[in-house]
Amino acid sequence: MEKELAKAYDASKVEDEIYKEWEDSGFFNPDNLKDAKKPFVISMPPPNATGKLHIGHAMFLTLEDLMIRYHRMKGDKALWIPGTDHAAIASNAKVEAQLKEKGKTKYDFGQEKFIEEVQNYISNSQDTIRNQIRKMGSSCDWSRERFTMDEGLTNAVQTMFVDMHKDDLIYQGFRIVNWCPHCESTLADDEVEHKDQDAQLYYMKYGPFIVATSRPETKLGDTGVAVHPKDDRYKEYVGQVLEVDLAGHKIKVKVFADPEVDQEFGSGVIGVTPAHSQVDYAFADKYGLEMIQVIDQQGNMTKEAGKYAGQSVKEARKNFVKDLEAVGLLDKVEDYSQATSICYRCGAAIEPLMSKQWFVNVNKASKKLGKQSLKEKSIEVVKNGDINIVPDRFNKIYFNWMENLHDWCISRQIWFGHRMPVWYKLDDKEKNSPVVQVESPGKDYIQESDTLDTWFSSSLWTFSTLGWPEKTKDLKEFHPTQVMETGYDILFFWVARMIMMTTYAMGEVPFENVYLHGLVRTRDGSKMSKSKPETIIDPLDMIKDYGTDALRLSLLIGTSPGNDIKLYKEKIASYRNFVNKLWNVSRFIFSTYEKPAGYSDPQPETAIDKAILTLFDDLINKTTKDFDKFQFGQAGDRVYDFVWHEFADWYLEISKFEKTESKPQILYYILENILRLMHPMIPFVTETLWKNLDKKEMLMIAPWPEQGGYDHKEELKTFRKAKEIITDIRNLRAVYQVKPKEIINAKITKEISAEGQQLIANLAKINFTNDISKKGSVSLEYLDLALGEVIDLDQEKARLEKEKKNLENYLTGLEKKIKNIKYLDNAPPNIVEQDKLRLEEKKAEFEELERQLDAI
């Protein structure tokens, strides 16, 4: 023992120092784990380099660090690769917002200068984030840290693009895409959110029809009218081309019949606007309709919109409706709830627009994928078990999404992001003849100004971080990775795309297991949001107040894979209390006993010794199994219970009077192995306490505990029985308000071992004597207790009667069960055996109760 331990554990005093020792040791880097062979690799989901960590990050850092530390202790070559994501759209938006505060826009800077601004901003955020990851105790390999826009990863992105283009899996296409007028960029289908909004449905007179629409202004670009083939109301018009006058704006529409049309909705007539609706575009394709674009990329009306040209969509709608009304073309307006598309980043309404973009073809068979498409391959590797998703209900969700996947639009019109390796001749204004290669083809070429979807680069994350496309040693040794741990909210955005891109590029899966955690929510179950700052739990504040270990436990215990958790201060505080309990257990052991020689193989002497070692063996076994099955919450719960309610509450208390040579051995043995078992969950306090064991090596690389081979079932039973008797006596004391210090006389009425007597005497404050006064005495199984004058015999009788009744009911049920022939025929023998034993035990208890009642 070097120094006295403080009365209470102060996390803030030790955590930074301990982290530095870990980091300096070099063991975060698996190359320094000398005897380790089997790789265990996790690629850290790279946080967006846009600000600071939130509680969701704390969640994944806790879970991933737990797995990494567990495997490192098990002797695996544990590698956790950290990194950050450039988060193209988010970074652009953040910096643009900052500029706006200064009254400027990105156009004041120009693309080059603006990108510099973004880079400055990102590099600041990265520093913050690195420190915060350290604060959580994360044992990741900083020497391998990557950034989605560093040189290596940029090379990977461009190489991938060129490869896929060669294989026709990336192509340029002119079609309807999701356009966010606020971000001024395209979005992928899954970056669009659908929300029901209160809207108006306008019924307008439209030639011979009435057409219902929520967006009247788009009707200016109509080129078709769709009705149902069986709708007799409109039969005569099908096949005709009509000229329709919309308050002075003339359009030509071709009438056609299609079974897709719902006769019940609106008027049963659809005005078809191919340039501004996905559905209508499909119609146009099928029936050969013209396309007229009436809305531009800023969300304003084009010159095709006639007198409304230049107006915003909103203005145009108002004015157009007014005009319709003026000439009596507006039939009626109804309120209804409309499923509107909004941008998942900024919340602006999405405009479906025609545009030339780059796409990943998910349906085209590829030689590289054994003649399967990206989609088919991605489904296959999950179906055949190459990838295991935890919890498995997400399999279904994954398959459903994959099966319905459309081509992925990967080009974005924002300035900051990966430039595409695409070049056009200077005079190719329409961008019709792209040259796809990493290097510029020559001076008379300019590079495509669009950038790539952020998820394109992150989908390469597991292998680009290991050096791909170079054939590096790391790539060979550490890919595929073992676990991808992330939130279920990015299953599609990220996990699915990693599977798609990695199976193509590497011919293998990116990871063997996917562990999906839930979202951290507020106490009432709502999402923590920036608009309600009081609901946000800042991990750094919690670390300051309660320590990192307490925060980590609060994110582990009581959680299960895929399920959301509610987090609040009181919860974290209760785990702070646990950490302090562990601290004081250790403090007691260290200050009471010198470290005994040879304690790693303790020799139990008493029944209690044997019982606690048996329980502890079981704990080691179950914790290991739970970790292997990703049941971290359960593992935490179990260890918590053992430490507090078996080891501290009973064994430690017993060691205070049952003085044997075995005690210091066993106390040190169990304590040391508790520190090992709990290290992956609460690394700081365990490593700090470990120092008092004077070990050569740090706990972080100490071997994972193995069972000691203690299996003393009889002694365990004795221990349980003793606890029961002691609790019963304590209960009586409480009921009759015997002073805690007062010693009760008792006579033994059945055989009871000397060890048992000692336990009862000390823990229930009993003095054994044959001379107890009959008055005010009560009989308990094994004992007659004299409770002095305090006892109320009537009250005691009533208490016992109640207990007897309970037991009687239970016994009746059990007896009936055991006599049931069907039960005997069907139940497994061990269950029957168990029940018979229980029946005997309870019968004995019942008889004892009767005896006690007679005595009163």
Partner RNA sequence: GGAUUCGUAGCUCAGCUGGUUAGAGCGCUAUCCUCACACGAUAGAAGUCACAGGUUCGAAUCCUGUCGAAUCCACCA
Span 466-495, contacts to RNA by CB under 7 A? 489, 492
Residue 629 binding RNA, by CB under 7 A: yes
The DSSP bridge pattern shows strands 451-452 and 411-412 to be antiparallel
Residue 309 binding RNA, by CB under 7 A: no
| Contact status, residue 133 vs residue 53, Cβ threshold 8 Å | yes
Among 266, 487, 510, 602, binds RNA (CB under 7 A): 266
- List the one residue out of 786, 805, 784 whose CA is nearest residue 852: 784
Question: Toward RNA, which CB reaches closer, 116 or 628?
Answer: 628
Binding residues among 829-848 for RNA as defined by CB under 7 A: 831, 834, 838, 842, 845
Stretch that binds RNA, among 205-213, 593-601, 692-700, 752-760 (CB under 7 A): 205-213
Residue 826 binding RNA, by CB under 7 A: yes
- List the one residue out of 501, 535, 497, 443 whose CA is nearest residue 188: 497
Stretch that binds RNA, among 127-135, 593-601, 772-780, 815-823 (CB under 7 A): 815-823
Dihedral sign, Cα of residue 157, residue 162, residue 168, residue 174: positive
d(CA 183, CA 66): 39
Binding residues among 417-446 for RNA as defined by CB under 7 A: none
Among 570, 771, 789, 794, binds RNA (CB under 7 A): 570
Q: Which residue has the tokens 């066993």?
A: 666
Question: Toward RNA, which CB reaches closer, 109 or 399?
Answer: 399
Buried b (16+ CB within 10 A) or exposed e, 71-95: bbbbbbbbbbbbbbbbbbbbbbbbb
- Least Å from the CB of residue 644 to RNA: 6
Residue 584 binding RNA, by CB under 7 A: yes
Q: How many residues bind RNA (CB under 7 A)?
A: 100
Stretch that binds RNA, among 79-87, 327-335, 578-586, 602-610 (CB under 7 A): 578-586
| Contact status, residue 603 vs residue 665, Cβ threshold 8 Å | yes
Residue 657 binding RNA, by CB under 7 A: no
Q: Which residues, 6+ apart, have CB-to-CB distance to 544 below 8 Å?
A: 12
Residue 707 binding RNA, by CB under 7 A: no
The C-alpha R_g of the chain, in whole angstroms, comes to 36
Stretch that binds RNA, among 207-215, 322-330, 460-468, 598-606 (CB under 7 A): 207-215
Residue 400 binding RNA, by CB under 7 A: yes
Residue 85 forms beta bridges with which residues? 48
Residue 238 binding RNA, by CB under 7 A: no
SS3 372: strand
- Residue type present at position 25: S
| Contact status, residue 528 vs residue 535, Cβ threshold 8 Å | yes
| Contact status, residue 147 vs residue 126, Cβ threshold 8 Å | yes
| Contact status, residue 443 vs residue 425, Cβ threshold 8 Å | no
Among 384, 433, 737, 770, binds RNA (CB under 7 A): 737
Among 262, 444, 711, 815, binds RNA (CB under 7 A): 262
Q: Which of left, alpha, beta for 65 (phi over 0: left; psi -120 to 50: alpha)?
A: alpha
Question: Toward RNA, which CB reaches closer, 200 or 297?
Answer: 200
Draw the binding track, 2-41, toward RNA (x: CB under 7 A; -: no contact): -----xxx--------------------------------
d(CA 577, CA 649): 15
Stretch that binds RNA, among 77-85, 303-311, 723-731, 750-758 (CB under 7 A): 723-731
Draw the binding track, 347-386, toward RNA (x: CB under 7 A; -: no contact): ----------------------------------------
- List the one residue out of 485, 481, 506, 504 whose CA is nearest residue 494: 485
Residue 652 binding RNA, by CB under 7 A: yes
Residue 537 binding RNA, by CB under 7 A: no
Among 259, 385, 740, 829, binds RNA (CB under 7 A): 740
Among 565, 615, 639, 675, binds RNA (CB under 7 A): 565
Residue 143 binding RNA, by CB under 7 A: no
Element (H, E) at 571: helix 569-592
| Contact status, residue 414 vs residue 95, Cβ threshold 8 Å | no
Question: Toward RNA, which CB reaches closer, 326 or 734?
Answer: 734
Among 214, 472, 513, 535, binds RNA (CB under 7 A): 214
Helix axes 569-592, 662-678, angle to 10 degrees: 150
Structure token digits, residue 376: 């088919």
Residue 91 binding RNA, by CB under 7 A: no
Among 820, 833, 844, 851, binds RNA (CB under 7 A): 820
d(CA 616, CA 674): 9
Among 823, 853, 855, 856, binds RNA (CB under 7 A): 823
Among 120, 591, 603, 621, binds RNA (CB under 7 A): 591
The 3-state DSSP composition of the chain as helix, strand, coil percent (nearest 5) reads 50, 20, 30
Binding residues among 274-293 for RNA as defined by CB under 7 A: 277-279, 282
The DSSP bridge pattern shows strands 520-521 and 565-566 to be parallel
- Least Å from the CB of residue 553 to RNA: 10
SS3 8: coil
Among 486, 580, 673, 852, binds RNA (CB under 7 A): 580
Q: Which residue has the tokens 């806790």?
A: 62
- Least Å from the CB of residue 70 to RNA: 17
Among 109, 142, 287, 644, binds RNA (CB under 7 A): 644
Element (H, E) at 269: strand 269-272
Among 212, 516, 689, 702, binds RNA (CB under 7 A): 212
